[in-house]
Amino acid sequence: MATRALLGAIKKRAVSFPAFPGHSGYRHGSTLVVAEHEGGFIKPPSLSALAAATCLPDPYSSVSVLLAGSGPSLHQAASHAASCHPSISKVLVADSDKFKNPLAEPWAKLVHLLQQSSGYSHIIAAANSFGKNVMPRAAALLDVSPITDVTGISDSNTFVSDLSSNCLSLKNLEQMSLHVANICWKCTLNHRYTGANPCILTIRSTSFPVPQKSVDSKSNEASISQVDLSTFDEDLDKSRYISQTSQDDERPDLGNARIVVTGGQALKSCENFKLIEDLAKKLVAAVGATRAAVDAGYVPNDLQVGQTGKIVAPELYMAFGVSGAIQHLAGMRDSKVIVAVNNDADAPIFQVADYGLFEVIPELLEKLPEKK
C-alpha cells in the first residue's frame, strides 16, 4: 500500500529544482553541446545530444559545439561539426594534450571556463560513460543540479525522464511485485528546472534520433573558434589515464547496431553464451548481456545492456534467457521490435516483448545461412 501511494505521488507531480538567490528564470540564451569525436567525426551519441539541443523551443537561442583534444583528427572533427547541422552557430575547439583522454577533471574545468566566459543557458551531453563522468563534476563546479537521462524536452525549463531511472535508489525494488515494476517501467517524470543558469542535461541518445540524411553543405558551415586556454590551470594529480582496451572483432558496435542479440544468466555458462555470439555473427548483429550475465563472468562488462550499462534502441532486439528486470528494460525499451526467448513462461520480459518464444537457438543456427 505504501509503495503504491509513493509511486502514485511520483507519477502525478513534477520535480522542481529550486532557484538560487539572485536568479529569476531564463533570458534568451544559448546552448553548449559537449561532444566526443573519433577518427575525425562526431560520435553518434553526441549527434543525438545536438538533436536534443535543437528541441529547445527558444527561436533566439544559438547552439555551440565544444570539441577538445589534440592532433589532426580534432580539426577534422571540427570541420565535420561545422557542417553537420544548420542549427550550429559556432564550433569551439580546445586544442591541448590535457583533453586527449576523457578524464573528468580537465573536461569539467573546461566546461566551467566556457560557462564563466559565455554564460550559456543550457549545457547538454549524451548520457553515456563520457557524459556521466564529466557532466556531474561540471555541475558541481558551477553549483547547479544536473538533470540526467532526459528522454524528452517539453520546453526550455521542463524535461522528461523515465521513472525507472529514478527507481534505482529504492533498495527493495527487486523484491517489489511485477505490477509495481511495470508501473516504474511505463511512467515518466517531468523535471521543472527553476534554478540558476546553466541548466545541465545528459540525454538518452536513443530518445533523440539523428536524421538519416544529415546536412553537409558548405553554405551552412558554422564558424570555428579556438578556446583561449591561457587561464586554464588543471591539477591532474587526482586521476591519470592508464590505457584503453576495446574488443577487436567484426561485430557492429552495440550502441548503434540494427540488431542486438542479448543473453542472460539463464544461459548458465560461457559455453552456452557462445551460442549467442554464433547467432549474432550469422545475423550481423551486436552482442549484449544482462548485468547478471556480466557478473557471472560470461562476457566483459562493456557488453552490458541496461540502466547501468549501455542504452540501445535497435530495429530488432532478441533477448535469450533474460528475465526482464526493470534495470535491463530501461536500457532497451525503445527497441522497435523485441523478441524474447525464455523457457519460463512467467518471465516479466514477455510483458514487453512483441514476440515470445522458447528454446530455439540451435534450430536458428542450423537454418540461418552463413554470413557472406
pLDDT value of residue 100: 87
For residue range 273-300, list pLDDT tens digits in order.
999 999 999 999 999 999 999 999 999 9
| The predicted structure's pLDDT at residue 363 | 67
Q: Is 17 inside a domain boundary?
A: no
* Whole-angstrom distance, CA of residue 312 vs CA of residue 258: 10
Cβ atoms of 164 and 330 closer than 8 Å: yes
Confidence (pLDDT) at 149:
87
Mean of pLDDT over the chain: 81
**Are 264 and 199 part of one and the same domain?**
no
pLDDT, average across residues 75-92: 92
Closest CA to 290 of 269, 259, 315, 266: 266
Cα distance between residue 285 and residue 296, in whole Å: 23
Residues 121 and 201 in one domain: yes
Same domain, 193 and 79: yes
Confidence class for position 351, pLDDT limits 50, 70, 90? confident
275 and 193 within one domain: no
pLDDT confidence bin for 15, thresholds 50/70/90: very low
Alpha-carbon distances, residue 197 vs 92, 112, 143, 312 (angstroms): 20, 12, 10, 31
Interior angle at CA 41, CA 38 and CA 43, nearest 5? 65
More confident residue, 172 or 241: 241
Q: Which positions make up the binding site?
A: 290-291, 304-308, 321-328, 342
Q: What residues contact residue 94 under an 8 Å CB cut-off, 6+ apart?
A: 66, 67, 68, 69, 110, 226, 227, 229
| CATH number of the domain where residue 292 is located | 3.40.50.1220
DSSP three-state, residue 15? strand
Let me know if residue 122 belongs to a domain.
yes
Residue 8 lies in a domain: no
264 and 205, same structural domain? no
Task: Measure the CA–CA gap between 205 and 49, rounded to whole angstroms.
Answer: 7
22 in any annotated domain: no
Number of folded domains that form the chain: 2
The overall pTM is greater than 0.85 = no
190 and 326 belong to one structural domain: no
Q: Which domain holds residue 326?
A: 259-367
pLDDT at position 293 is 95
Write out the binding residues for FAD: 290-291, 304-308, 321-328, 342
Residue 188 located in a structural domain: yes
Q: Are residues 268 and 192 in the same domain?
A: no
Pair (152, 265) in one structural domain: no
| Widest distance between CA atoms in the chain | 68
Residue predicted with more confidence, 274 or 172: 274
Q: Are strands 223-226 and 88-95 parallel, antiparallel or unpaired?
A: parallel
Looking at residue 41, its pLDDT comes to: 94
Q: CA separation (Å) from 10 to 18, 131, 161, 164, 183?
A: 18, 26, 12, 11, 11
User: What residues pair up with 341 in beta bridges, in sequence order?
Assistant: 320, 357
